[in-house]
Amino acid sequence: MLVAKGIQFVQAWVMELDADARRVILDGAPALDYDTLVYALGSKADPAGVPGVAEHAFSVATPEDAIQLFEQAETARMIVVGGGATGIELAAEVAEPEPDSRVLLLSSEEPGAWMSQRAQAHVRRVLERLGVEIRSDAKVIEVSAEGVRLADGELIESTATVWTTGFGVSDLARRSGIAVAADGRMLTDPTLRSVSHLDVYAAGDSAVVAGPGDRELRMACATALPTGKYAADAVVARMRGRDPRKLRFRYVFQCLSLGRRDGLIQFLHADDTPGRTMLTGRTAAWFKEQIVRGAGRAARP
C-alpha cells in the first residue's frame, strides 16, 4: 500500500535530529534531509522516578511489553499499579478468565476518578465482582522482586507487578533544541506546527495540542488518529500555498473494557469533562469492540 502511494519506507532508529540543518541522523541507514518533518513518536511507559520499576515491573505500553507480560508473568498474585484506563482494563482482563488469580489494583485515587460518580461506581462494582481487590489510598514508592513498598512502609508481596501509572515521551525533541513542554512534548500552534521550528509538525502523544476550553488534549487513540490526519492536511495545504484551517476538535465519549462481557462508555462534553449519559454491561462491551475495530481500520494507509 505504501509503494502504491509513492511512499518510501525506511526502518531504522532515529539517533539525532538536527532541526537547524533539517537532517535526521539514523542508526543503520544514511541520514535523511527534509523540507518538512512530522514528529509522531508516540509515548512510552513512564516509571515516574520510582526505584525498581524499570528492573522489576512489567508494562503494557507497547505490543512487545504486553506479549512479555502474558508469556512470562505469574498471575497467582498480580499487583497492577495505577487506577487509570490502562490499569482498570488490565486488572479486569486478567481477573475474568482466571478466577483463582489474586489481582490487586493499587492507586492513590478511586479507579476512573476522572469520570462521573456513577461511572466510578460501576467500575468498582465490576472489578470487585471479578475478584479484583482495590486499594485507592496507596502510593507506591519502590518496586522490588518481592513486590511493592508503599509510602507508609508496608511491603505488599506479588508474583508480578505491572506499572500503568502514566506515559512519557522521547527526549529527542528536547535534545534537538525544539521548544517543548516540561514533560518533553513538542509545543505546537493551532495548526500543529512547532512554535520554534516552522518546518516541523507534531501529532499524537508527543505533541502538546490545545483543545476545547483551552484544555490540552490527552494522550489517547482518540487524539492521535485525528491529529495525525490533520497534520497531513496542514502540510499539504502549505505545500499548495494555502493557509490551513485551525484544528477543530472535540471529545465525544471514552470507552473502557471491563473484561469480555462488561464495559463502560462515558459520554463527554467537548472539553473532555464527563456528561450525564453512559452505557454499561454487554452493550458497552460490544460498543468498545466496534470502536477498537474501527480504529484499526482508520489507521490503515
Cβ count within 10 A of residue 30: 9
Whose CA is closest to 93, among 66, 62, 61, 57?
66
81-107 pLDDT tens trace: 999 999 999 999 999 988 778 999 999
Is the distance from CB of 167 to CB of 46 less than 8 angstroms?
yes
Confidence of residue 62 (pLDDT cuts 50, 70, 90): confident
Give buried/exposed letters for 81-119 (b at 16+ CB in 10 A, else e). bbbbbbbbbbbbbbbbeeeebbbbbbbbebbbebbbeeb
186-211 pLDDT tens trace: 999 999 999 999 999 999 999 999 98
What is the rounded distance in angstroms from the CA atom of residue 269 to the CA atom of residue 19? 38
pTM of the model: 0.84
Across the range 175-181, mean pLDDT stands at 96
Percent of the chain with pLDDT over 90: 74
pLDDT at 189: 95
